[in-house]
Amino acid sequence: MSRRAVFLDRDGTINREVLFLGDAALVVLEKAAPGGLRLLQGAGFDLIVVSNQSGVARGFFDEDAVRRVNATLSGMLRAEGVELSRFYFCPHHAEGAVPKYAIGCDCRKPAPGLLLSAARDADIDLKGSYCVGDSARDVEAGRAAGTRTVLVLTGFGAASLAEVESRSLADYVAEDLAAAARWIIKDCSGSGGDIVDS
């Protein structure tokens, strides 16, 4: 039987936004993230992180630095009772400075490649799953993959709201990850929710 997942952007959604985060010492959790993730975990969702990391293509840091940040984030959340299932990231950017990564690809959000790969690897039911992020490209990737979508207003979310609303990309807009989790749990039980949770 296929599993359900919540696909989560990393920077600005789970941890505080740091532009081109390549230093694990700079990882700080968003205040509402642990509680929200515990709710989703308790509801039986796999928690899968899907993030663009174009700092690799730009030459700011390497893939190992991304993995160190991910490991630090995972450890911080484990201490809060949360187990992240998997991490997927895109190191590419078409205008990158590192030739190996300076390519067009199907994994850089808003393309759905990261979500599709995760769904294949973990037997995820995309139609029963959700994608949460703080930018238009995050929710657009979820929409393209066939999930329900939530924009959080942390990170770049507030700045992305007008575009997301004008393009009808999000099924829901939430103040933070805890509010997103509450709506997801209501939505998957069929009770729905308001357009914005504050």
What are the pLDDT digits (tens) for 35-45? 999 999 999 99
| Residue at token pair 């700092």 | 55
Query: Across the chain, what does the average pLDDT equal?
Result: 95
Q: 56 CB contacts (<8 Å, ≥6 apart)?
A: 62, 63, 66, 91, 92, 96, 98, 101
> What's the one-letter identity of residue 1?
M
Q: In the annotation, is 11 catalytic?
A: yes
Q: How many residues does the chain have?
A: 198
Taking a C-beta distance cutoff of 8 angstroms, is the pair 89, 114 a contact?
yes
196 pLDDT higher than 70: no
How high is the pLDDT of residue 191? 52
Catalytic one of 11, 46, 171, 197: 11
Q: In the annotation, is 9 catalytic?
A: yes
Positive or negative, the CA dihedral 18, 22, 23, 27 is: positive
pLDDT in tens, 112-155: 999 999 999 999 999 999 999 999 999 999 999 999 999 999 99
The full set of domain ranges for the chain reads 5-197
How high is the pLDDT of residue 190? 78
Q: What CATH number should be reported for the domain whose range is 5-197?
A: 3.40.50.1000
Which of 93-102, 164-173, 185-194 is the least confident region? 185-194
Q: How far is CA 86 from the centre of its chain?
A: 11
pLDDT in tens, 153-186: 999 999 999 999 999 999 999 999 999 999 999 9
